[in-house]
Amino acid sequence: MTAPIFWLTELADPLPPPGTVLDLTGPEGHHAAVVRRIRTGETVRLGDGRGRAVAGVVVAANKQGLRVEVTEHLPVRTPGPLRYVAAQAPAKGDRSELAVELLTEAGIDEIVPWQASRAVVRWSAERAVKARARWIGTASEAAKQSRRLTVPEVTEPVSTAGLIELIKEAALTLVLHEEATTPLAAVALPDSGRIMIIVGPEGGIAPDELAAFTEAGGRPVLLGENVLRASTAGVVALAGLRLR
């Protein structure tokens, strides 16, 4: 089983050599020692969430955290030619966090909160700060759970106008829509650049938004016969793209 990973944001650059002892303290260290019950002699990985990480053996553990002796550097992840981005409309309850969790586990590179016109959940300025912080925390935890060394970026929320500008910059934008006639599998993919997936709210993407996205270069696509929830549509689309 792959060793668990914990975030050590102040990881030195260049990475500390084998034999160096690192302290994992604070909330992350407490979680590792008390919640995950990591003990002396176990192997863990410590990463900065941006692709750099070391593996090491726990030489001491207490309620405050872990002391880890570095044994090796892990290969730095080289970004591929394609960058996958999900523009996700907020959903009710904890469904937004579920969407972020699933997207992260499936390998999304960037998540853009989109304030769609039909979204039941409205983010005021103050609420947007707190909601984005929850999304960032969810992405961080999901990255650890899935043993990936990079935490996807969660950007500032965008309006529909802001999202249109992102569509113009992307190599390909796929607008998930239940009335689309083109299957996702039939769309040719670019060799490089940003592929953006737009996931609407529970109320669906408004006709004027769909028209504006299409005019900007977005491609409405159909995932299948069934209409998926806002929390699951994105991850199904991303999985289909990555498998291709």
What digits encode the pLDDT tens for the residues 139-148?
A: 999 999 999 9
* 119 and 54 within one domain: no
* 169 and 224 within one domain: yes
* 88 and 54 within one domain: no
CATH number at residue 150: 3.40.1280.10
Name which of 148, 240, 228, 238 is nearest 186 in CA terms.
240
If pLDDT is split at 50, 70 and 90, which confidence band does 54 have? Answer: very high
If pLDDT is split at 50, 70 and 90, which confidence band does 121 have? Answer: confident
Name which of 226, 148, 232, 149 is nearest 197 in CA terms.
232
Please answer whether residues 81 and 190 qualify as being in contact, where contact means their C-beta atoms are separated by less than 8 angstroms. no
Domain span including residue 68: 5-74
Helices 95-106 and 125-145 cross at an angle (nearest 10°) of 40
* 128 and 217 within one domain: yes
What is this structure's pTM? 0.93
* 119 and 224 within one domain: yes
Torsion of CA 215, 221, 225, 226, to 10 degrees: -80
* 145 and 174 within one domain: yes
Total domain count, the chain: 2
Q: pLDDT at residue 214 above 80?
A: yes
CATH number at residue 33: 2.40.240.20
Q: pLDDT at residue 194 above 90?
A: yes
Q: Name 6's Cβ contacts closer than 8 Å, sequence gap at least 6.
A: 24, 28, 29, 31, 32, 44, 45, 46, 47, 66, 144
What digits encode the pLDDT tens for the residues 70-116?
A: 999 999 878 889 999 999 999 888 999 999 999 999 999 999 999 99
